[in-house]
Amino acid sequence: MKLVTEQMEQFLSGGAWIRKIFEHGLELKKQYGEDAVCDFSLGNPDLPPPAVVGECLAELAEQADKPFAFGYMPNPGYPAVRAALAEHLSKEQGIAIAAEDLLLTCGAAGGINCFFRAVLTPGDEVICPNPYFVEYGFYAGNSGGILKPVPTKPDFDLDIAAMEAAITPRTRVVLINSPNNPTGMVYSKETLTELAAMLTRASAGRERPIYLLADEPYRFLAYDGAEVPSVLPLYPYSLVIGSFSKNLSLPGERVGYVVVSPLMEGRAQLVAGLVFANRILGFVNAPAVGQALLLRALGQEVDRGIYERRRAAMAGVLTRAGYEFIMPRGAFYFFPKSPDADELVFLDRLAKERVLAVPGRGFGMPGYFRLAFCVDEAVINRSEAGFARAIRG
Ligand code: PLP
């Protein structure tokens, strides 16, 4: 009996190693205790949300007996939330954004799916720099799109010539993510300006423009004063997707947004398409509680200093143990080179030291591995001996 599609069967078997790592981790924790395992596999922010989130929840509880306290709302989100977010994003993105240019979504993931549903015709291509957040391929596939990862430079910066060479008549979207998961790369204004110029050239004379989609859930987390430039003023066919999963530590609440560049002519039709997709994809808008929390907490964020200290601690551990890596300029990941050409062999050895990481092939780049440092600094320090032994083989 075929209970799922062949494609779903392929997805399930393709991700078998992810399950293996996860199950191995559970086994190790059961055997040795939670504290004996250094688990750097998940990008699940461990910091508590700012205090205002709890206060807001208490206020919502007081209102819970009122009619429509958690009722349906307009598909783009509560008008007050949309308006407040437009004001906030106008400052953050450095360009005047109207409430009508954005919508609230079920996290960045929901936003990306709305966008693909609105603009992709089956067979259309989505270019993204490699390595990349693995879900992008599935999200594009949900709307019949095909993800085309393009190599980056050795320091993980965009290789714009390679991106230009990858463009075909079916290219509909270029998707970038800065600060980047898994590399921690932050693209400079110069690089983004060059990308915008390339896309302007490539879109000229086309009936359908090539969109530039910037996925920015880690915008708040750039280190050493690194600037995260906005794409919205640089290219008219650009959009930004954002999320409160990381900056407010609310990933289970599912609240994010899509904002369309105010430079895009006729954008009302695109926004209408995004809003319609928000309605029909099954999740039906961003959650009421998440939107209320966001309205109260807008402009606040978790304590970034904690991530800064962890980044320094992790860099120290890896350097002393002899690993090769590029210091992340943003987000909460390291993407070091595996000491063995086959990173699965190395990660097996690392797991024997009770240190868990994700193989680079999970991000389209074998020979590397990803460490998520959203764990207590004590865990990072405790992992040093294991890292040192694992590199010696
Ligand atoms: N994009 C990137 C690069 C991510 O790392 C994540 C989550 O880890 C998402 C999107 C999804 O974020 P959200 O929880 O807002 O859907």
pLDDT in tens, 55-106: 999 999 999 999 999 999 999 999 999 999 999 999 999 999 999 999 999 9
Average pLDDT over residues 95-120: 98
The set of residues, in sequence order, having a beta carbon less than 8 Å from that of 255 and lying 6+ positions away, is 104, 105, 106, 107, 243, 244, 245, 286, 287, 290, 291, 293, 294
Across the strands, what pairs with 102?
259
Which residue is it, tokens 């209102």? 63
Ligand 1 atom, smallest distance to 181 CA: 3
- pLDDT of residue 21 exceeding 90: no
Q: Are 351 and 37 in contact (CB under 8 A)?
A: no
CB 256 near ligand 1, within 6 Å:
yes
Among 85, 264, 93, residue whose Cα is nearest residue 189 = 93
pLDDT reported for residue 16: 67
Pocket of ligand 1 contains residue 281 by CB under 6 Å: no
Q: Which two tokens stand for residue 318?
A: 């890896």
Separation of CA 106 and ligand 1 centre (Å): 11
Strand intervals (E) in the chain: 38-39, 102-105, 125-130, 146-151, 171-177, 211-215, 238-243, 256-260, 333-334, 355-356, 358-359, 369-372
Task: Report how far residue 45's alpha carbon sits from residue 49's, in angstroms, rounded to the nearest whole number.
Answer: 10
Q: Distance, CA 105 to ligand 1 centroid (Å)?
A: 12
- State residue 282's pLDDT score: 96
Please, what is the average pLDDT of the chain?
Answer: 96
With a pLDDT cut of 90, the percent of the chain lying above it is 92
Task: Report the separation in Å between the CA atom of 257 and the middle of ligand 1, taken as the mean of its atom positions.
Answer: 12
Please determine, looking at this structure, whether the domain spanning 72-297 carries the CATH number 3.40.1160.10. no
Determine how many CB atoms are found less than 10 A away from the CB of residue 58: 8
Confidence (pLDDT) at 137: 96
Residue 142 has pLDDT above 70, yes or no: yes
Between the CA of 263 and the centroid of ligand 1 the distance, in Å, is 26
Give the separation between CA 241 and CA 239, rounded to whole angstroms.
7
Contacts of 207 (CB under 8 A, 6+ apart): none
Question: Residue 137 carries which DSSP code?
Answer: H
For position 13, what pLDDT does the model report?
85
Atom nearest to 215 CA in ligand 1:
1
Q: How confident is residue 124, by pLDDT bands cut at 50, 70 and 90?
A: very high
Question: How remote is the CA of residue 388 from the centroid of ligand 1, in Å?
Answer: 31
CATH topology for 6-49+303-392 is Aspartate Aminotransferase, domain 1 (3.90.1150)
Out of 18, 105, 135, 244, mutate this one to test ligand 1's pocket (max ligand atoms within 8 Å of CB): namely 135
DSSP characters over 9-77: HHHHHHTHHHHHHHHHHHHHHHHH-GGG-EE-------SPPPHHHHHHHHHHHHTTTSTTTT----TT-
CA distance 215 to 100: 20
Distance between CA atoms of residues 337 and 367, nearest Å: 6
Ligand 1 centroid vs 320 CA: distance in angstroms? 31
Using the structure block, give the residue that is written with the tokens 């994700």.
358
Residue type, 72: Y
User: Is any atom of ligand 1 closer than 6 Å to the C-beta of 108?
Assistant: yes
Mind giving me the DSSP string for 309-323?
A: HHHHHHHHHHHHHT-
Check pocket membership of 243 for ligand 1, CB cut-off 6 A. Answer: yes
* pLDDT tens digits, 227-251: 999 999 999 999 999 999 999 999 9
CB of 182 sitting under 6 A from ligand 1: no
- Residue 140 alpha carbon to ligand 1 centre in Å: 14
Domains of the chain, by residue range, sit at: 6-49+303-392, 72-297
Count Cβ atoms below 10 Å from residue 208 Cβ, excluding itself.
Answer: 14
Look-up: residue for tokens 């910037």?
214
Sequence-distant (≥ 6) Cβ neighbours of residue 134 within 8 angstroms: 362, 363, 364
